[in-house]
Amino acid sequence: MAKPQEGRSRVVVEHVEPQIDCGLFPIKRTVGDLVSIEADVFGDGHDHVRARLLFKEEGASSWQSIEMLPLGNDRWRGVFPVDKIGRYRYTVVGEIDHFETWQSDLKKRVEAGQDLAVPFATGGALLEQVQLRASKQDSTKLAGWAKKLRAAGSKDDAAVAFALQDELLAAVHRYPDATLETWYERELEIVVDRERAAFSAWYELFPRSWSPTPGKHGTLRDVANRLEYVAEMGFDILYLPPISPIGHSFRKGKNNAVEAAPGDEGSPWAIGSTEGGHTSILPALGTLKDFTNLVKRAKQLKMEVALDIAFQCAPDHPWVKEHPEFFKKRPDGSIQYAENPPKKYQDIYPMDFETANWQGLWEALRDVFSFWMDQGVLVFRVDNPHTKAFPFWQWVIPELKEKDPNVLFLAEAFTRPRVMERLAKLGFSQSYTYFTWRDTKEELTEYMLELTTTPIKEYFRPNFWPNTPDILPGHLQTGGLPAFRFRLVLAATLCSNFGIYGPAYELGDNTPTKPGSEEYLNSEKYEIKQWDLTNPASLKPLITRLNQIRGANPALKSNERLHFHPTDNPMLICYSKRTADGSNQILVVVNLDPSLVQAGWIDVDLAALGLAADGTFEVYDLLADHSYSWRGSRNYVALRPAEAPAHVFRVAPAKV
């Protein structure tokens, strides 16, 4: 092995965390976060080691430096804030700290009663070496200090006190010897998003079902005129399925019938017709001006519009004629429609990401996002991103963030775990999850711990949906409104991002096409629905209250510090969230049984909540507006599913 360029660098820097796949992908944070970085930093022998955390915004010419603190066993930690949206870089630097070593040795020599003349001279020499690298002002100080140490006597108590001052070490630390530093082998990256990436409440609706006149096709204007309904519930993202023209060829009928009857509206995901493609609007919904007015109206109500982007085409999409190379052809020359055997989707042509014109395809798809961004859309729900090439997402998401770093992407990818994780690594801001199918206490606990305590937490932001237009889970079919209630509480409090497909959710729509199916009977995907928004059984009051609770309690705005507390009843799940400083603490208990009253004892982990072992503390139920005084760890609850399926407690020490 060849000699190194600099063999005097004696420190090792390794195991820097967090990092994703050896630094191949960035970790994720939101504006205002404190980023905690750890590393192993050590050297040979007994000399002291200094470790520094370096960070900077992408493109900055110089690094900012933070002293790392020792955790023991050669592990170090440093923390720095990210206060701007964009990309940051960080790395770790280590060096032998000769001056701190000298100070430590001086203390030992004083305690041993040794002659200090030579040690003082050594300290002076170290300061003189640093003086050569220092600024003019500090150089003068260092020269004076060095002279003072060299002049000290062998038993000079005043010189000892002077030599051990923190000011001397701080001055030395300002001017490290770059030739002897060891830098970590790579620079690591962070993507910093706006707060909505980490905390959001989504409401999905089909504009065509939003007309106040029964049987009439709804419009974007209708949505804008009735948007207070959504705003009153406290949602901050209005999510619309595709609003582009719907294909006529092979259009699906009601309940996904292979052939459409006259007047059937078709699926919004069969995109494109002679009326236009991905950057056009279905004429029955209105105009581009109507859409931009909806975006403005949403903003007035403190919401923003998220648009569904589905990269697939109906057979009469303009691209089929303009760019036939974008699609895969069968041996007979016809274009291959989408299939998931035995299912056939004759109304949809998937894109061919292996086309020879892949660059043209990529640019055309990027331009779809770019067009809607120009109309004021900065949140996109992407349909089935796992069926598109990974390299495309790795390219297009940073490209669009360069256009506007505020843009966010939700991956609708109910697929294999590694595929979902890869999409998150590639840049998707949020992701759908398996929450919809996690039913038992054990399943929910295990899944949440995976999402919040493993390396996944560094890049995968979950978004919990208890239902979608594609998924009516079995527990909602059999559990009725009580199941809708407790699943809503779980989604809204377990996860900082959640969403519902409404009004199907608040009105308890739970009829499947057939037993064992997760498809809705008379699905809104294929027909216009008429919703009674004034139904007294609506869950709107509960939804509204939960969103109010989420907005007023910072502990629920993050998935950090989620902690599960044991219960003696498997149908009761208990968990807490708290802020980093402990100023806000939420304890949630949910009855997972939609049919029966469930009661039991909770073993509250008082230490996790910063409470005294045998003290009294107050729990205030934010749903029921009622306060209880609890003492010690073991406390009793009983929950009736039809009335109060959950407690959402704000926890505070008892008032003296």
HEC sequence for 213-243: CCCCCCCHHHHHHCCHHHHHCCCCEEEECCC
CA 362 to chain centre: 26
Rounded-to-integer distance, Cα 263 and Cα 168, Å: 84
pLDDT score recorded for residue 474: 97
> CA triplet 150, 156, 162: central angle to 5 degrees?
70
Rounded-to-integer distance, Cα 542 and Cα 8, Å: 66
Q: Let me know: does 572 contact 593? Beta carbons within 8 Å.
A: no
Fold equal for 1-193 and 563-653: yes
Rounded-to-integer distance, Cα 234 and Cα 87, Å: 31
Cis amide prior to 18 (ω within 30 degrees): yes
Q: Which of 222, 304, 347, 383 is catalytic?
A: 383
Q: Give me the residue label for tokens 């400083």.
A: 581
pLDDT score recorded for residue 613: 87
The CB density around residue 263, as the number of other CB atoms within 10 Å, is 9
pLDDT score recorded for residue 25: 98
The architecture (CATH level 2) of 563-653 comes to: Sandwich (2.60)
- SS3 of residue 188 by DSSP: strand
Rounded-to-integer distance, Cα 184 and Cα 8, Å: 16
Q: To the nearest 5 percent, what fractions of the chain are helix, strand and coil?
A: 30, 25, 40
Instruction: Give 103-115 as a DSSP string.
Output: HHHHHHHHHHT--
524 is catalytic: no
> CA triplet 501, 502, 506: central angle to 5 degrees?
115
pLDDT score recorded for residue 655: 64
pLDDT score recorded for residue 345: 83
Q: Let me know: does 97 contact 67? Beta carbons within 8 Å.
A: no
Q: Give me the residue label for tokens 């495309």.
A: 392
pLDDT score recorded for residue 5: 77
CATH number given to 1-193: 2.60.40.10
pLDDT score recorded for residue 528: 97
Class (C level, CATH) for 194-309+370-398+406-554: alpha beta
Rounded-to-integer distance, Cα 303 and Cα 357, Å: 39
Token representation of residue 43: 């050297």
Q: Map out the domains of the chain as residue ranges.
A: 1-193, 194-309+370-398+406-554, 563-653
pLDDT score recorded for residue 2: 78
412 is catalytic: yes
The residue ranges of the chain whose pLDDT is under 50 are 656
Q: Which of 97, 412, 524, 527 is catalytic?
A: 412
Q: Beta partners for 531?
A: none
DSSP 179: G
pLDDT score recorded for residue 217: 98
Nearest CA among 318, 341, 229 for reference residue 272: 318
pLDDT score recorded for residue 338: 86
pTM for this entry:
0.95
